Structure formats: C-alpha cells, structure tokens
Amino acid sequence: MALVLPLAVMTSAHPGSFGQTAAAPAFDLIPLPRVVEPRQGDGFVLTPQTVIYVQDRSADAQRIGQYLSSVIGIAAGPEPPRVEPARSSPAAGGIHLRLNDMKEPEGYELTVEATAITIAAGRPAGLFYGVQTLRQLLPALIEFEAVRADEKRPLRVPAVTIVDHPRFRWRGAMLDVARHFFSVDEVKRYLDLISIYKLNRLHLHLADDQGWRIEIKSWPNLTRHGGSTEVGGGPGGFYTQAQYSEIIAYARDRFIEIVPEIDMPGHTNAALASYAELNCDGKARPLYTGIEVGFSALCVDKEITYRFIDDVVREIAALTPSRYFHIGGDEVKTLTPEQYVRFIERVQKIVQSHGKQVVGWDEIAPAALAPGTLVQHWRPDGSPTAAVSKGARIVMSVANRAYLDMKYDNSTPIGLNWAANIEVRDSYEWDPADVAPGISESALEGVEAPIWSETLGSMRDVEFMAFPRLVAIAEIGWTREDGRKWEEFRQRLGAHGPRFTALGINFYRAASVPWK
C-alpha cells in the first residue's frame, strides 16, 4: 500500500524534507521536486515482465503510457514494456499511471516501492512530468541507443515518494529559426530535450530581417523569396503549414505549447524584400544576410500593411492551439514613438480578432495593452513597472541571465556578448521575481530562455549554448525559490553529464560543474 499523503501534511510533518538535499543527493533530479521522501526498502526492479498500466482511457493518458514505454525501450527486456488498461483491483507489480483529484494543474505524485511504481496526477500534464521524473530515476544508460540492452540491467529505481508541482505556469525556451533555419527534425530534437526538464513552451521566432520561415498561402513570396537565405548567405528554408502543424502535434504530445512569433514592425526585411508594396517607397529591399538590427520597418501608414498582417495572423492563428500570438515589437529605430504605439494598438486588435492574446517584447509597454497581454522582459536596463501597472503579466527573459546566445566567457568561440558573458552559475543564481523593482511573484507568468541564432549555424551550436544553461533556467521555472542553492545544484547538474552524453548532446563542460 503506497503511502501518499497530501502535500500540506507531508511538508508540515517533514519541514526539512524539501528537496532532501542532504538526505538524498543520489537522486540528482532536475528540476528539484518540492518533496522527495526516500522510503524504506530496495525499490523497484524493471524486468521483461514489467507492464505499464494506464488507468485513464483518454488519448492523452494512453499516449503518456506509450511514451514511457518508448523511453524505457528495450532496456528492461527484449521488447519495450507493454501498455495495458488498469485492472479494477490494482495488480501488484508494474508501473501504474492514474488520474486523481489533485488540484495542481501540472502537479504529480510518484511513489516507488518494491512492488509497484505509481504516478498519480490531476491532469495528463502532471502524469507526463511524473514520467520525466521517473526517467531521471532510471540510469542514464537507458538514453543510450547504442549500448547493448543487457549492459543497462538491472534497471533499479530507488524507493521514494515524490510530491511535486511547478512554481510558474510559463516555462519556456525560444528558438530563433530566422537568422539560421532549423529543420523540422531539429526542432523536434529540441522539443525532446527541453521536455526532459519539464519546460512547457517553445516560442518560435519565425520571421526576421534575414528570413521568413512559415508558409503564408495568401502571400506566397514571403517564403519563396523571403525564406531563401539566412545569415551568412546559406540557403535558409521554411516550414510549410503542414510541417508547422507537425511541429505543434509533436510538441503537444510532450505537453509543450508552440508560441509563434512574427516580429513587427521592425525586423521585417525579409517581408520588405518579398513584397515591394509593403515599403513606403514601393521599392522592394534586397535580401539581408548580415547581423545588424533596427534598420527595417513595415510602412505603418499604408493600409496594405494591415491587410498583410491580418492575413498572416489569421493563417497562423488558425493552425495554432496556443491562446498567444507573439508580435515581437522590439528594436524599432525608424518610427516615431507615436507611430509605433498606434501600430502596436492596431495590431493588438487584429490579433484579438483572430482569437489570440498578444505577447510582445518589452518595448510594447507604452501602448494601451489589453488585459491578459504578456510582456517579455529582455532589456537588462529596462523596467517592467509600466507594463505591470497596466495589468500585463511578465515573462522574464532578461538578457544578462536568460539569453542562451550570450557567450559563457571570452573564450567561447560562438555567441554574442552585448548583454554579458553568462557562466552556468550566472544563469542559475538569480530570481525572476527580483530582477527589477516593481515586479513581484504575482506579476510573473514565468521565465523563458531565448536562443538567438546570428552566430549559431547548426544544432550542435545551439546545444552547446543551451546545455547546460537551459537546464538551469528550467529549474528556476519549476523549483521553489527557497529550494535552490548553486552549490547543491552544480552537484546534481554534474550527475546529468552522462545523460547528456547518452542523449548525444553537445554540451559545454563548465569548469564550475563536477561532471561525472
């Protein structure tokens, strides 16, 4: 019989149990859960007979069962574990996934005993996060496809009870597919990797000066011409609408919401090169393959500009389950403040007319913002106070902490350093609620780690900049602030080295981390 106590009882009965940093360093979980209670006994051993029982018949729950089976793969037996509906009286043995009345929308309880593993959650998302925690309790070798199955055994999971839920609703990563294009398979790989660390948003920066990356059927030259190059002059690329939908479905299966961004009115050279009529002088701009910013802007006083935006937002919104549409709004240097504010307010109406809410970079704050707007705070010297006072919620991406394209130190061969050099410790040791006066926990929607690709020409480059700093940001998004300590985190992070290696991640072996 599993001992599963309500969270409140467990935390008050065991005030020192949070994170179990002293008692259970062996678990090395990232992000650190709220409550980790080691149990008596040897834990559970997976065998060829282990079955995954899914109590709920929903498609989501069944998919999570299949996902767990594919993560375990042939590590426990000649075939991945079978996935079966749960029996009415719970069978001993096996891994049980079940939905209960837990209130926390992304929370879960994981219990490992010698006789059974149980993951219970109020909603499928929580089951999925419980599965990711279980995955980290299994040896890193399970991730290694090239290793013979018998070398992975015995697959022993330590006896433990974990009760967990995240700090923030928005735990994001952003990938700039405009400066350099990344294929559908590369985006899927990024989704796979970020899902291990319980991130739940992937913001795709789909258009910038150097490239337009999503098919718009009513404006076909955007991709035909505007998608034909990238920084440095390479061939670029774009997603067809079918491919974009494929990415969304892949993300959804990992409980990740895709947030599309079409940056405007600046960062629009690819559109201005594709359609002469979007320029105030009616002349198409040449394609651009450099890395300057701030030189381009849509012609905000022409009506065709708003027909264009309406078409683009309509087509993308129709494919996108997220309630959000990111309109960029950053670094506009060629418009007056009045022109800029009028533009943002008009575009906000367009976005709303297609059933979505605006997300924008922090420059949009001077505009009249609709309730529920998200402002993404990125400028280290800026203040989100104005946005917060208008009722906007903040996604914290402050560049000197959360930008994954910043160099680690002066010797990092790729990346930028305009905001800072960001060592792993710098990316971990900060609190999003403490970045600027005027922000409090309640104004924060969450955190997001953007990776801009001016200098990143391949997925290997992206991985080198993202790992391990993205993992640090993932913990900031999930774990309670009072449970995080760099000295302890770096030990756990070091234990993820073999897992990174097994997953084939090209990661930065920071000297400050005791890599195993």
- Which helix (H) or strand (E) covers residue 120, if one does? strand 117-121
What does the chain come to in residues?
Answer: 516
Tokens 């022109």 correspond to what residue? 339
User: Does residue number 361 form part of the binding site for ligand NGO (CB under 6 A)?
Assistant: yes
| Cβ nearer to ligand NGO, comparing 325 with 403 | 403
Q: Which of 104, 186, 331, 429 is an active site residue?
A: 331
3-state secondary structure labels for all residues of 388-411: HHCCCEEEECCHHHHCCCECCCCC
| Cβ nearer to ligand NGO, comparing 180 with 499 | 180
**Angle 459-466/184-196 helices, nearest 10 degrees?**
20
Report the nearest approach of ligand NGO to the CB of residue 258 (Å): 19
Please state, in angstroms and rounded to a whole number, the distance separating the CA atoms of residues 297 and 328.
12
Q: Within a 10 A sphere around the Cβ of 150, how many other Cβ atoms?
A: 8
Report the nearest approach of ligand NGO to the CB of residue 300 (Å): 19
Is residue 338 flagged as an active site residue?
no
Please state, in angstroms and rounded to a whole number, the distance separating the CA atoms of residues 508 and 506.
7
| Cβ nearer to ligand NGO, comparing 19 with 415 | 415
Q: Which of residues 249-308 bind ligand NGO (CB under 6 A)?
A: 293
Of 285, 274, 164, nearest to 228 by C-alpha is 274
**Angle 184-196/124-137 helices, nearest 10 degrees?**
80
| Cβ nearer to ligand NGO, comparing 422 with 474 | 422
User: Does residue number 44 form part of the binding site for ligand NGO (CB under 6 A)?
Assistant: no
DSSP string, 307-376: HHHHHHHHHHHHH--SSEEEEE-----SS-HHHHHHHHHHHHHHHHHTT-EEEEEGGGTTS-PPTT-EEE
Q: For ligand NGO, what does the binding mask look like between residues 24 and 43, x meaning CB under 6 A? A: --------------------
Q: Which of residues 421-480 bind ligand NGO (CB under 6 A)?
A: 452, 454
Q: Which residues contact residue 462 at a Cβ distance below 8 angstroms, ignoring those fewer than 6 apart?
A: 175, 182, 186, 190, 451, 453, 456
Residue type, 305: T
| Cβ nearer to ligand NGO, comparing 166 with 329 | 329
Q: Which of residues 194-213 bind ligand NGO (CB under 6 A)?
A: none
Please state, in angstroms and rounded to a whole number, the distance separating the CA atoms of residues 231 and 512.
33
Among residues 212, 244, 378, 478, the one that binds ligand NGO under rule CB under 6 A:
378
| Cβ nearer to ligand NGO, comparing 194 with 359 | 359
Please state, in angstroms and rounded to a whole number, the distance separating the CA atoms of residues 160 and 163.
10
User: Does residue number 331 form part of the binding site for ligand NGO (CB under 6 A)?
Assistant: yes
Among residues 37, 215, 405, 461, the one that binds ligand NGO under rule CB under 6 A:
405
Tell me 81's DSSP state. P
| Cβ nearer to ligand NGO, comparing 2 with 293 | 293
| Cβ nearer to ligand NGO, comparing 55 with 397 | 397
- When CB distances to ligand NGO are compared, the closest residue is 452
Please state, in angstroms and rounded to a whole number, the distance separating the CA atoms of residues 173 and 183.
17
Tell me: cis bond preceding 154? Omega within 30 of 0 counts.
Answer: yes
Please state, in angstroms and rounded to a whole number, the distance separating the CA atoms of residues 357 and 326.
8
Three-class SS of residue 251?
helix
Tell me: cis bond preceding 384? Omega within 30 of 0 counts.
Answer: no
Phi, psi at 79, each rounded to 5°: -125, 155
User: Does residue number 330 form part of the binding site for ligand NGO (CB under 6 A)?
Assistant: yes
Please state, in angstroms and rounded to a whole number, the distance separating the CA atoms of residues 56 and 40.
29
User: Does residue number 4 form part of the binding site for ligand NGO (CB under 6 A)?
Assistant: no
Among residues 181, 340, 403, 489, the one that binds ligand NGO under rule CB under 6 A:
403
Of 155, 159, 105, 157, nearest to 127 by C-alpha is 105
- Give the binding-site size for ligand NGO (rule: CB under 6 A): 10
Please state, in angstroms and rounded to a whole number, the distance separating the CA atoms of residues 203 and 136.
25
Binding site for ligand NGO (CB under 6 A): 293, 330-331, 361, 378, 403, 405, 416, 452, 454
Q: Which residues are catalytic?
A: 331
